[in-house]
Structure 1
Amino acid sequence: MAELYYMNIEDPISAEDYQTLLGTCASDKREAIHKFRFEADRKRTLYGEVLARFMITKKTGAAMPDIEFDKNSYGKPYVKDQNEIFYNISHSGKYVVCGLDTEDIGIDIEEIRDIDLDIAKRFFHVKEYEDIISREIREQAHSLYDFWTLKESYIKFLGVGLSKPLNSFYFMINGESVQLCSQEDHTVYFHRYLLQDNYRLAVCVSTPDLIHMEKISLHDLVAYIKSES
């Protein structure tokens, strides 16, 4: 069963707890985090990294600082020396989400904002664009982000980055039913969530099993790290 944990980066954090989180990361990741200009970007990157380490530790028993990551040629991250643990991270606005599974997984979360339909016209498949503009004005933003997160989760599942154009495949959405139309010869399953009415989240996995989804507080995450030290 795939697992999802998500956090709110707007929860207040003390300097001590921030250092506790940083202490679980590799030195190159700490340096990358420090280079971000804005605090929100530093938090998104740090919390995503720590969430991944937390989930992998719970699954494997490995110490959080000992977990090593690498990336494939397209930039998709993976756990080194592990062929049964796969993870993916996404963040938008105030939320950071990490997914973990025993097979490939792709996730994407997006904050629903005012939209420019030209984005869908330029980058989405024509069938998806036609679906979006056929809806009432108040529904178009939700529809666009529904397609957007599904497409991003699928590309991240494949691990090929934007070498696969967004308009080379399309989705058909009918209520809770999602159908992928693609030339790829494999079976995948999608789960969709709406967080607080203005965040769309999509998950792409290789089995139809239910997904365990849980929000974790900063307090509980820090407490877990300290208990493992």
Structure 2
Amino acid sequence: MSADRVEVWWLDVDGVGADQWAELTAVLDASEQARAARFHFDRDRQTYIAAHALGRRLLSAWAGGDPASWRFTIGDHGKPEVISPANGPCLRLNLSHTRGLAAAVLTEECDVGVDVEWLGRDPDCLGLGRRFFAAAECAVLEAAPPQRLAHTFLSFWTLKEAYIKAIGKGLAQPLDSFAFTLEPLSIAFTDTLADDPAHWRFHQAQPNDQHLLALALRHPHPDRVQVELRAMDF
């Protein structure tokens, strides 16, 4: 256990057996189970359950204890935070799920966020980019070849989502107030006093040919961080 280590788990939701869903649901607390029950489509319900069960199992693998015993509180902008054990380190967990994939990221003390997206989406890449992205990111989108446009858009999107989840502001943080470059991977801020790029570590991965994943971590020494990524099954 260390603030210099980040663990990322992901789960292929379609690989979960029909007989396993009751077990995964039982790990969730009453409020999570109630929210899961409100999803209209089974697919959406299952990705939600998978993400929350995955996060609880990651917490227990890191810190011990029963996955069902973890409790959470809600921050000012609705971000769930782990209620860490007394006299222990502050555990920082973040979850993401999309069609067919769930992901969880865990570290100690530091702000962290994760986002996953399904590459089968067909978004209005240029329209959404011009509406929400920084000018430099829009220029990259406009220069992308048609066969790479959706992949480029979702690369920016996952990074932006991971960052705003890490800082805990969600969409209260304007998406054009910061800009990413993809090669090399870095961030810049419109207001240079708003944040310091030197305190951030970003990582991108493609768990399979259908999904993208992005990680954002605020850390005083990003270069010393060890990022561990694992495909999990139940």
| TM-score, normalising length: structure 2 | 0.87
Other-structure match for 2:185: 178
Instruction: Provide the alpha-carbon RMSD of the alignment.
Output: 1.5
Aligned pairs for 1:192-207 within 5 A: 192-205=204-217, 206=219, 207=222
Between the aligned partners of 2:156 and 2:22, the Cα distance in structure 1 is 38
Q: Aligned-pair distance for 1:132?
A: 0.9
State the alpha-carbon separation in 1 of the partners of residues 180 and 83 from structure 2. 33
Q: Quote the offset at 1:12 in angstroms.
A: 4.5
1:1-229 pair list within 5 angstroms? 1-15=5-19, 17-81=20-84, 83-102=89-108, 103-112=110-119, 113-116=121-124, 117-174=126-183, 177-182=184-189, 183=192, 184-186=194-196, 187-205=199-217, 206=219, 207-208=222-223, 209-218=225-234
Tell me which amino acid in the other structure corresponds to 1:46: I
Q: Which aligned segments of 4 or more residues in structure 1 are displaced greater than 3 angstroms?
A: none
CA distance in 2, matches of 1:210, 1:52: 19
What is the number of equivalent residue pairs in this alignment?
215
Q: Which amino acid aligns with 1:211?
A: V
Question: Where in structure 2 are there 5+ consecutive unaligned residues?
Answer: none
Where in structure 1 are there 5+ consecutive unaligned residues?
219-229
SS class of match (1:152): helix
Stretch deviating more after TM superposition (134-143 or 47-56): 134-143
Deviates more, 1:150-159 or 1:208-217: 208-217
TM-score (norm. length: structure 1):
0.88
* Greater displacement, 98-107 / 192-201: 192-201
Q: Distance in 2 between matches of 1:115 and 1:41?
A: 19
Q: CA deviation at 1:84?
A: 2.0
Alignment deviations for residues 114-134 of structure 1 (CA, whole Å, 9 cap, x no partner): 231201111111110111111
In 2: Cα distance, 1:29 partner to 1:196 partner: 28
- Sequence identity, in percent? 26
